[in-house]
Amino acid sequence: MISVEVFSDVVCPWCFIGKRNLEKALTSLKTSEHKNIKINWRSFQLNPQLPMRGITRSEYTSTKFGGAERAAQIYERISGAAMEVGLNLDFEKIVTQPNSSRMHALVYAAESVQKDHELVEGFFKAFFIDGMDLTERDNVSFIAKSAGLETTLIDRVFSDDLYLDKIDEDMQQSAKIGIQGVPFFIINQKVGLSGAQPSENIIKAIEQSI
């Protein structure tokens, strides 16, 4: 069994691109002898300081990038990279920037019922393509239900702070490793790969770890 730990943030566009590159790599590897590959999604927050209620997108871009003009330049480059992997990101639709901790907790909840891949995809699509407000609990719950999570499990994440301790553990581990940006792939606990690497680089890293 080959393990691939993916440190990512569900509100990180490069992580969405990296997910597509990983999927392409896995599709290629399925035709070879490397068929037993386990993907584990791990938490990383680009903006852990954000309040749980989130902030407006304009405030976020002003603080993060120094204004809308600079943000537009950065997002144009990201959009170009996204289109190369078949993603049409719509940054104009995004009106709020959420704190992603609850969503990461829900990914862990989804992992417990083998729905984590569906939920990660759901969050990426909702935020970067549909422009859904992920500061709203109803919207986040809807995405989780659509991915296959039961309402009782979703409610426990919100009411009982379920899996928030796992988020802290992941953040501590990423700091210990020295992860400063995501996506970051750790393959078989041996090989680290930083950034939205092309699929061929991911394949090489997997083969190198064996």
Q: Note the pTM of the prediction, 2 decimals.
A: 0.95
Can you give the pLDDT at residue 82? 98
More confident residue, 124 or 2: 124
Mean pLDDT of 149-162: 96
pLDDT over 70 at 33, yes or no = no
- Residue 127: pLDDT band (50, 70, 90) is very high
Distance, CA of 82 to CA of 103 (rounded, Å): 22
DSSP 35-55: --EEEEEEE--S-TTS-TT-E
More confident residue, 205 or 30: 205
Q: How many CB atoms lie within 10 A of CB 109?
A: 22
pLDDT over 70 at 71, yes or no = yes
Distance, CA of 208 to CA of 9 (rounded, Å): 26
- Residue 32: pLDDT band (50, 70, 90) is low
Can you give the pLDDT at residue 35? 65
Can you give the pLDDT at residue 147? 98
Task: Give just the sign of the alpha carbon dihedral 115, 27, 79, 191.
Answer: positive
Can you give the pLDDT at residue 31? 62
What confidence tens digit (pLDDT) does each residue in 186-204 have? Answer: 999 999 999 999 999 999 9
- Residue 36: pLDDT band (50, 70, 90) is confident
| Domains annotated on the chain, with CATH | 2-209 (3.40.30.10)
